Structures are given as structure tokens and as C-alpha cells.
Structure 1
Amino acid sequence: MNTRRTRHTAILLKNGKVLVAGGSDRHSCVFSSELYDSKTGNWTSTGNMSINRCEHTMSALTNGKVLVAGGDTSFVEIYDPTLGIWTTIERMHTTRLGHTASTLADGKLLVAGGETDSAEIYDPLTGNWTVTDRMHRQRYQHIAAVLTNGKVLVAGGSEVDYEGITNSCELYDSSAKMWTTTREMSHRRMQHTALVLANGKVLVTGGYDDTRKYLKSAELYDPLTETWTTTGNMSFPRAEHTASLLRNGKVLVSGGLAKNLIRYSTELYDVATGIWTVGNNMNHVRTFHTATELENGDVLVAGGSEGDKSAELYVSPKKTLATINKINNLSNGYKAPVTKKVLNKDGHNNTIGSNKYS
């Protein structure tokens, strides 16, 4: 990338490019944004946001534009991929940091928490924010997942910073405009991940608990019974990691933090067996990075680790050959482009256009 970033956001645009915005460059939060073109493997700068942002949210709207909200502010702006510019819109009612944003079935956006128990909804048709029912507790660095029944599951998080870490969960019903409590997770967690699987269940992994312990446990939420069941543990404890659902149905987990150790390891979860297997290591350690699935099923991992510029691809295991711009470290420090790498059955990580040569 052109800028060092951690605690940033990334999203796949309708044109196939990936938009990355904000984050910390190791010294402060930034307002810059850039685009990754998977066809060329190159990064290009695009319009700047109006303010610096970290721990904000990024959401795709039905019209192809992208909405960014919060980041220790109530300011909101929209990115137009056609024009390459950001436009500020009506502010949220509450300043938010480490919150969640979920796209509802009707195209509206539910924003919840962020060192508060409040929630509000953005309507793209009117451009207005409306305050909705409050959650049952204050949440920060929690997760939110849109279930197949249209409800939104919110789980875990802390009240502020690392205080008040919880295992409590609740559901938002957009038709009733209400939050209701549901079963608690087995572990208190913050900085964890959540993915909706093809079978409709939600897989939650890792995180940091109230005993100052990094977790390797994972559990599944079943919307039909509203219950949690434990599943196989990851090989390594991790928080501030990413989780991606691959085209073959497996889940890829990458990077993260455990005590003073920033990880470059990855693991794959087999939904059918509930077992984790260790995958190929990334080329860089990463925490608070982003992982974005591309149109071809590959996963673009970018930034993290105290504001790293580098990015790399996890190539989909469905393909046996990939032609991408790979960068290898040679003994003299020079990095040479390589193409056509044969992949193993679990895919392969390839460093791409990092603009980092030291």
C-alpha cells in the first residue's frame, strides 16, 4: 500500500477493486484512502476522507457507494467509486469508536455500540439517521452478524477499553425495532471474530477475555435454537485477527495478537468436522489488519502490525495455478516480481504491491 495502516477498514467495490481507508500509520490516525486493482496488482491513491479515522466502520450501500462512520467521532461520509471522492453527510447522534455496522435486508444500516449502549439506523433513501432501541449493555470491540432470519446478533465486547468484558449476547429485530437478550457465549470475549456459515450458524473465534487471557476457543451460535455450542479449538490463541469464509466452505483465520506476540500464522476450519488445521504462514506478522475476499475467491490481506504497508494474497484452494504479482525477498534485499506459482491444496500466500522495500 502507499500508507502504513492498522485499525483501518477495507471493502470490495462493485467494480472489483478494493477500497482501503483510514487507520493508524504508527504515529496517528490518517484520512487517506487507496484502491487495490486485482487485475494489475497495483495500489493507487484515491480521494481523502474529511477527517482522520481509526476503528471506524465501512459499509457497502445498495447503490454501489460506501459509507464510513465513526472512529472516535460522529462524522459520517460516503465514497463515490465513480468520482473517487468522499462527501460528508448527516452525522450520527452519538460519537462511536470500535462499534459495528450491519446491513439489514431492506438496505438500511444498523450501527451499534462503540463505548455506548446506543444504536441507530441510517436510511440511504432519505440520508437520515434514526435512533433505535438501546442495547442491554454498553459495548466496545464486540461483533455483529446478520442472521439468515434477518435479525442481527451482537456478542461480547467490553464496556470501555479492556474493562467489563462480557459473554452476553442480544438480537436486534428490525421489524419490531427492539433488542432482546439471547443465550450467552461460553467465554467472555472482545476483539474476536464472527462469520455466518453456509448452514446459517455463526462461528465465533478467539479474542481476549476478562482474565487478561488470549483465547484459542471457538463456538457456534444456532439461530434456530438460540444456543451456543463449543467447537474445535484453534491451534493458537489470537485476538485482533481476521476470519474469512472461503469458496470451498472452509474458514481462514489469519494473524492476530497473543500477549506480546504478533502472529503471521493462519489456520483453516472445516465446518463439516469442526477441526482446525494449520495453514501456510503469511509473509508478515499482522494484527488489526483487514482481509477482503476478491471476486475470484482469493483473499487480500492488508496492513496491520504497527502500521505495515505490505499486502498479500491468500490464493483460493479451488485453483491450481495463479498469475499474480508476487514479491520475494532475495539475499541481497532486492525484491523481484514472480508469476505463475503452483499452489498446494490449502492455497498459498503471496506478497503483492506493498511499496515497502526495507
Structure 2
Amino acid sequence: MSSPTIAATGTWTAAGTLPSPAAWYGRHDGAVLLTGGTDKVLVIGGADGSATAAGRTAVYDAAAKTWTAAAAMQVTRRLYTATVLDGGSVLVAGGITGSRQFPSPGLNTVELYDPAQDAWTTAAPMKHARWGHSAVLVGGKVLVAGGFAVRSGQSELALAGAELYDPVAKTWTEVGPMTDPRGGHAAVLLKNGKVLVTGGAVPVGKGTDTDLAYCELYDPAQKTWSVTGSMTAARAGHQATALDGGAAVLVTGGRAPGGRGDGTFDPFSRAAAELYDQATGTWSPVDDLPGGRVHHRAVALGPDQALVVGGTGDVHDDAGYESAAIFDRATKKWTTAGGLATGRWAFAAVALSGGRAMVAGGVARSGAAAASAGAEELTGTAEIFATAATP
């Protein structure tokens, strides 16, 4: 007997090809939607197939359906953060430059992109070099928190420190440190104006780290952090998506959890998903994501829906997934979405107007086959998702 056909919601359409393919491995890097009333997407830096940081940028014009190479950054970087300021300029902070995986001491340099002039200018440097950190616009200022730095040689150190960039004064000010050091975490702005930081990892030895379930809140009025409810599972490499303007936060995926309490080993990424309630400060499990994954992306399609797309689940981070799914906050259920034309992980993604989403670049294939060629196999293609109801 043949298996029943499952109807998929929404479709993907081709959106051209990046001037240069790249991959993005962080939680707050890749692409941003430029302001100004038109769907224009800026794709920034990242890494090439040999993990060398790039400085190239490009702009996609959804109305013209074209990619245009934009001015290159002054410093090549990956694992940076990119934040759109209230005035429309884009603040890019920190990261790693060069070809080594963790070169000392990382970057504290900062650049500002002016879309009108297509130009980058140097901004005041951060107080501390960092990569794998978070950045959130809160009250018109950029809150940067945590990340990794080099302790000695190639030994990593997780940071607890946080600092605030004031676009008017053009200065950085240190604020209270997080309650726990972490890097590779995700941060989102809540409806009440506070910032929620979720999960991440802490190095515990050379080449070894531990994932975190701990979460905390930043209060912009007090410029201090406080503990909030912990997730039901420790996560790194996950995604956090604000729903209902930040009244709720959906967390999905994460890398393979490794050893479990029963002595078995789980070689695949997390399928469990959970929802944070701003009002109670607690997490509750929802239906499992259809297929565990890491290095995926999640974007809000509207106030109560999130699209989770791509990623990989193999312990070796091999082939990129084509699959996508839509979460509905009202029902707490998942609906199968149309699949990508090109499977990918560690890619850029951004929400567009009209409940649409765009993905670009990323790793199509890694593992032994790609390693034999001396580089990961990247894709330069881009695709746009729209539901059946979207014109």
C-alpha cells in the first residue's frame, strides 16, 4: 500500500543568485532587511567554503528581483552581529577575521553601513573583542552580550559581559554582566521591552563545551540581568523566534545532545520545541518539530506563526535539509511547508513583507565528500517563501 500524500503549505520561488556564495554559522549574522518601505535585503560577509572570513556584501531588491554587489566591509568577518538602527544604517560588530578557526583575539572593531551612500564607515570599537555573541536593538540602542574570546593560545573563553551602543553619542558603555557566561546563544526583544537570552554554550576544555538550558532577562531601565525560567532542554545552535510582538518566544532545534542519562548516545539534532511565556517567565513544550535540526533558520511569518527551514541533523553536518515547517501559536501545532529547491544549512534568512521569507546561500553539503575537495560545498542560490494566501 502506498503512503498517503501530505499536502504542503506555501511554495518557494527562485530569487536569483548571490554575487558570491557564503555561509553563516551564528545566531545573529547573515542578512538584514533594510528600512525604507521596500523589500531590500543586505547580505553581509560570512565564510567561504574553507572557513575564511569574507568582507563581500550584496543587496537583493525584491521589487526588481535582482542582486547587486554592494560595498565591501573594511574588515572581513564571520560570527559577527548585524543590527539595523532606527535611522536605517546597519551596525556590524565583532566576529572573527582571517582563515584560522579561532584567531586571537577576535574582533572588537565595529562598522556602520549607510544604504543611501552604499558605504561603510568605522564606528567606535566595543570594549571587548568577541564572536558568537548576541545583539538586539532595545530602546534605540544596541545591546551586545556574551560571546567567545581567546583565553590562551587556541583555548576559548565564554564571556558574561555586556555593553550598549548609543547611535547618538556614538559610544559604547558597559552594563551589568549576564548571570552566566555563554556564547552561541540567541537573544530576542520581548513585548515588555526586556531582552530574553536563551541557551548557548560554555567551553569546559580544549575543543569541548557544554550546552546550557539557562535563560535570563536584561532590564533596560536598570541595565541589569536576572534569571528567568530555564528551557526543558540544553541547547546551542538553536533558533529563538519572537511571536505576538515578543509576548511569546518559540525555540527550535539545536545540536546533537550527546550522552543521555540512560547511557545511550543521540547522534542527531534536537526535534523538541518549546514556547516561552513572557507573562509567567516559564517554558512549556509544544509538538516536536518535524525532524530535528541544527544550523537552521526560523523567521516570523506574522504575529502568531513561525517558519522553520533547512538545517542539518547528521552528527557530521552533512547534507542540507530541504524541508520546512510552519508553527502556529494558537494551536501549538506544526504544518508541513513546501520544501526548498536546494537543501542548505548555515545560511542567511530574513522575513519580508506580506508574510513572506527569504533564504540565501549556506552549505549545501559537507562531510567526507566535500572535505576531500578541501572545502564545504556552498550554494549561492536564494529562494522566497510565500503561503498560498499570499499574492
The separation in 2 between residues aligned to 1:295 and 1:278, in whole angstroms, is: 21
Q: CA deviation at 1:293?
A: 1.6
The separation in 2 between residues aligned to 1:103 and 1:209, in whole angstroms, is: 30
**Paired residue for 1:226, among 266, 281, 284?**
281
Is the 8 Å Cα contact of residues 319 and 343 (structure 2) preserved in structure 1?
no
Is the 8 Å Cα contact of residues 246 and 316 (structure 1) preserved in structure 2?
no
Query: What's the counterpart of residue 6 of structure 1?
Result: 23
- Could you tell me the TM-score, scaled by structure 1's length? 0.86
Q: Residues 220, 240 of structure 1: CA spacing in aligned structure 2 closer, same or farther, 3 A cutoff?
A: same
Name the stretch that deviates more: 66-75 or 288-297. 288-297
Name the stretch that deviates more: 63-72 or 260-269. 260-269
Is the 8 Å Cα contact of residues 100 and 111 (structure 1) preserved in structure 2?
yes
The separation in 2 between residues aligned to 1:127 and 1:6, in whole angstroms, is: 30
Query: What's the counterpart of residue 108 of structure 1?
Result: 141
Q: Residues 171, 162 of structure 1: CA spacing in aligned structure 2 closer, same or farther, 3 A cutoff?
A: farther
Matched, 1:62 2:120: no
The separation in 1 between residues aligned to 2:388 and 2:218, in whole angstroms, is: 36
Letter in 1 for 2:249: V
Query: What's the counterpart of residue 204 of structure 1?
Result: 251
Q: CA deviation at 1:297?
A: 3.1
The separation in 1 between residues aligned to 2:236 and 2:332, in whole angstroms, is: 22
Is the 8 Å Cα contact of residues 23 and 48 (structure 2) preserved in structure 1?
yes
1:229-280 residue CA offsets vs partner (Å, 9 max, x unmatched): 1111111000111111113732110001111342111011121111112211
Name the stretch that deviates more: 141-150 or 307-316. 307-316
**Paired residue for 1:138, among 163, 177, 181?**
181
1:55-100 residue CA offsets vs partner (Å, 9 max, x unmatched): 1111011111110111131110000011000001110011111111
Matched, 1:256 2:314: no
Whose RCO is larger (CA < 8 A, sep 6+)?
A: 2
Query: What's the counterpart of residue 39 of structure 1?
Result: 63
The separation in 2 between residues aligned to 1:92 and 1:155, in whole angstroms, is: 22
Q: CA deviation at 1:213?
A: 4.4
Is the 8 Å Cα contact of residues 255 and 287 (structure 1) preserved in structure 2?
yes
Matched, 1:274 2:332: yes
1:280-330 residue CA offsets vs partner (Å, 9 max, x unmatched): 11011111112112234321110111432110110243325xxxxxxxxxx
Name the stretch that deviates more: 286-295 or 52-61. 286-295
The separation in 1 between residues aligned to 2:319 and 2:117, in whole angstroms, is: 41
Query: What's the counterpart of residue 159 of structure 1?
Result: 202
The separation in 2 between residues aligned to 1:247 and 1:166, in whole angstroms, is: 29
Query: What's the counterpart of residue 344 of structure 1?
Result: none
Matched, 1:191 2:241: no
Q: Residues 283, 34 of structure 1: CA spacing in aligned structure 2 closer, same or farther, 3 A cutoff?
A: same
Letter in 1 for 2:198: A
Q: CA deviation at 1:209?
A: 5.0
The separation in 1 between residues aligned to 2:115 and 2:312, in whole angstroms, is: 33
Unaligned stretches of 5+ in structure 2? Answer: 1-17, 97-106, 149-158, 259-266, 364-375
Q: CA deviation at 1:210?
A: 4.2
**Paired residue for 1:82, among 112, 116, 123?**
116
The separation in 1 between residues aligned to 2:303 and 2:186, in whole angstroms, is: 24
Matched, 1:150 2:197: no
The separation in 1 between residues aligned to 2:356 and 2:190, in whole angstroms, is: 24
The separation in 1 between residues aligned to 2:144 and 2:129, in whole angstroms, is: 11
Letter in 1 for 2:124: E
1:104-149 residue CA offsets vs partner (Å, 9 max, x unmatched): 1x20110011121111000001000011111122211111011111
Is the 8 Å Cα contact of residues 319 and 344 (structure 2) preserved in structure 1?
no
The separation in 2 between residues aligned to 1:235 and 1:9, in whole angstroms, is: 25
Matched, 1:302 2:360: yes
Alignment coverage as a number of residue pairs: 319
Letter in 1 for 2:179: H
Matched, 1:240 2:295: yes
Q: CA deviation at 1:220?
A: 0.8
Letter in 2 for 1:42: T
The separation in 2 between residues aligned to 1:202 and 1:172, in whole angstroms, is: 15
Query: What's the counterpart of residue 332 of structure 1?
Result: none
Superposition CA RMSD, Å: 1.5
The alignment-based identity, stated in percent, is 37
Is the 8 Å Cα contact of residues 147 and 153 (structure 1) preserved in structure 2?
yes
Q: What does 1:286-325 align with in structure 2 at a 5 Å threshold?
A: 286-305=344-363, 306=376, 307-320=378-391
Query: What's the counterpart of residue 121 of structure 1?
Result: 164
The separation in 2 between residues aligned to 1:57 and 1:318, in whole angstroms, is: 33
Is the 8 Å Cα contact of residues 145 and 153 (structure 1) preserved in structure 2?
yes
The separation in 2 between residues aligned to 1:42 and 1:170, in whole angstroms, is: 41
Matched, 1:23 2:46: yes
Query: What's the counterpart of residue 331 of structure 1?
Result: none
Q: Residues 248, 319 of structure 1: CA spacing in aligned structure 2 closer, same or farther, 3 A cutoff?
A: farther
